[in-house]
Amino acid sequence: MKKENLFGYVPAIATPYNKKGEIMEDAFIDLFEFLIKRGATCVCIAGDNGESWALSAEERGRLVRLAKDTSRGRVPIMMGISAATIDASLSYIRAAEENGADVLLSMPQTYVLKASEAELMARFDKVSEATNKPLVLYNSPRRMGFSLTIEQTETLLNNHHVIGIKESQRDFFYHTHLLERLGDKMSVMTGPCHYIMPAFGLGAKGFIATGPEFTDLLPSEMASVGLGKPGKIYRKTHYQLTVLYELLMGTATWPAAFKAALNLIGQPAGVPRDPVLQATDADIDKIKRCFDSLGIHYV
């Protein structure tokens, strides 16, 4: 997979669990097909939406294999390998290699470790030593505890098999400078969904974001609208994405609200895995009211 193949709508698929915490494979296949119909150009396993923190290496590999078998070559499969320890990341890499993942998504050390410059570079040296798979960087300051600088991103791009980045920095100054400096050298994929439409005009190639699952405009059409003259469809889509982002990020513990919202539109997302609790009745009522205000139909 090359940077030219990383574009458009790359959803991080939810992992559907039943109340016992077991993966529901039939539901996963249904969700996968739903995302294909929405125009996915690649599907990411074990992203934040997939509750990556709750998935073992064996489960990640199993889901990659299931996705590959379901896709039958229609779209490539990305797998998240982010972890606090290098040993965990290496076990995820092995699962990805053994089950046919096409590309890997990786933060630096995650969640509890604010990596120094030396630690950051050493982590990606070890990842690159372990695999020839192309890498997509993942810059998520709120999950990492720090942000990659543009200079660090450029260093990683120049020294590793990096084809793109999921950029979840919530600072549009940062996005602007990143796109100007590196947008021609790597595929910049927008993270926060309320940045999707304006980022296309500045050179983003696509998005790995939560929210396009529910919009009136198909995610596969967002690039052409984002690159065109802003009009009614542009403004409506941007507004829907903005409000959906605020709703899903501000209700319950992630990704309980996202799963509840998918269930409401008839997609079998199941429930979160322990220790995350299901969205409450009050949370679901809040989602329904938001959907009503946005004209989003639910069952």
What are the φ and ψ backbone dihedral angles of 225, each rounded to 5 degrees? -70, -40
pLDDT range class, residue 72, cuts 50, 70, 90: very high
- Mean pLDDT calculated for residue range 148-166: 97
State the pTM of this model: 0.95
Residue 5 C-alpha from the chain's centroid = 16
Neighbours of 219 (CB within 10 A): 25
- Mean pLDDT calculated for residue range 102-121: 84
The answer on pLDDT for 205 being more than 80 is: yes
**pLDDT at site 117:** 87
- Mean pLDDT calculated for residue range 54-72: 98
What is the helix (H) or strand (E) element at residue 187, kind and residue range? strand 187-190
**pLDDT at site 110:** 67
Which of 162, 159, 189 has the alpha carbon at shortest distance from 175? 189
* ∠ CA 241-247-248, rounded to 5°: 90
Q: What share of the chain is helix, strand, coil (3-state, %, to 5)?
A: 50, 10, 40
- Listed by start position, the domains of the chain span 3-220
Higher pLDDT, 166 or 108: 166
CATH architecture of 3-220: Alpha-Beta Barrel (3.20)
**pLDDT at site 144:** 78
> What are the pLDDT digits (tens) for 168-178?
998 899 999 99
Residue 204 C-alpha from the chain's centroid = 15
> What are the pLDDT digits (tens) for 257-271?
999 999 999 999 999
The answer on pLDDT for 93 being more than 80 is: yes
**Which string of b and e fits 173-202 if b means at least 16 CB within 10 Å?**
ebbeebbeebbeebbbbbbbbbbbbbbbeb
Report the C-alpha dihedral over residues 285, 286, 292, 293, rounded to 10 degrees.
160
> What are the pLDDT digits (tens) for 4-52?
999 999 999 999 999 999 999 999 999 999 999 999 999 999 999 999 9
The answer on pLDDT for 237 being more than 90 is: yes
Structure-token pair, residue 214: 């529910």
Are 61 and 26 spatial neighbours (Cβ–Cβ below 8 Å)?
A: no
**pLDDT at site 114:** 75
Could you give the residue ranges of the DSSP H alpha helices within 113-182? 117-130, 141-144, 150-159, 172-182
